[in-house]
Amino acid sequence: MTLEIEPPGTRPPTPPAPQAAPPDLRLTGPGVRLAQVKEEFVAWVKTLMSAAVYAVLIVTFGFQVARVEGQSMAPTLEDQDRLIVNKLVYRIGEPRRGDIVMLYYPLNPDKSFVKRVIAEEGDTVRIVDGRVYVNDIPLKDDYVPSEFRSHDDWGPQVIPEGYYFVMGDHRNNSSDSRHWGMVPKRYIIGKVQLRWWPVPTARVF
C-alpha cells in the first residue's frame, strides 16, 4: 500500500461554516392582538349584515315561510305544519288547478289562508251533494278522504276573469270560495312549494 503525502499548499480551502438565518421578526403585543380582534369582528359584522340583506330580499321578492293554523287542508296539510311559499312563481305565470296556494282572505286581507285552486277564470263550477264538477267534468280529488267530504250543493257559476275558485281539502271543515266567493289573482300570495316541518313528513308540492 502506498501512502501519498500532499505537498504544502495543495489542500483546498475549508468552506466557511453556514450562517444561521436571522430570526423571523413578528410584531407582538396587546396592540397587535387588539387590531386582529377588531378586524375579525368587522368581518363577522359584514357577513351577518350580508346574510340579513339576502334574507330580506328572499322573503320580500322570492319566498316566504308560513305556518298552517287549523285543519281546513287536512290531511294534505296539518295544523302547525311549516311551509315554504314561492312568491315569484305567479309573477311570471298563472295559478293552475290543483295548486296549493297562500292567499289573502278576501273579506279581511289582514288575514291569510292556505287553500287549493279548484277552478280558473272562465271555468264553470258546480257542486252536487259535495261532488265538485268543473266544466261538467267530475273533479279528480282522490286527496280528499271520504270522511272529509261534504254534502252541500253550490252553483253552477262561471268564474269571472282574473278570479279563482278555491277550496280546502277538508271539505266539511273549510271556509272557502263556497262561503266568501272568488279570490282575485292579486290576493294570491304564492304557491306552497315545500313542507319542511315536521321533518318526517317533509315533501315538495
Q: Catalytic: 87?
A: no
Three-class SS string for 36-82?
A: HHHHHHHHHHHHHHHHHHHHHHHHHHHEEEEECCCCCCCCCCCCCCE
The answer to whether 167 and 77 have CB atoms below 8 angstroms apart is no
- Rounded to 5°, angle at Cα 174 from 171 and 175: 130
Active-site position among 115, 150, 174, 177: 115
Nearest to 156 by CA among 125, 131, 133, 185: 125
Measured between alpha carbons, how far is 31 from 41 in angstroms, rounded to an integer? Answer: 15
Query: Which residue reads 266544466 in cell numbers?
Result: 135
The answer to whether 115 and 192 have CB atoms below 8 angstroms apart is no
Q: Catalytic: 115?
A: yes
Instruction: Retrieve residue 143's grid coordinates.
Output: 286527496
Active-site position among 72, 150, 174, 177: 72
Active-site residues, by number, are 72, 115
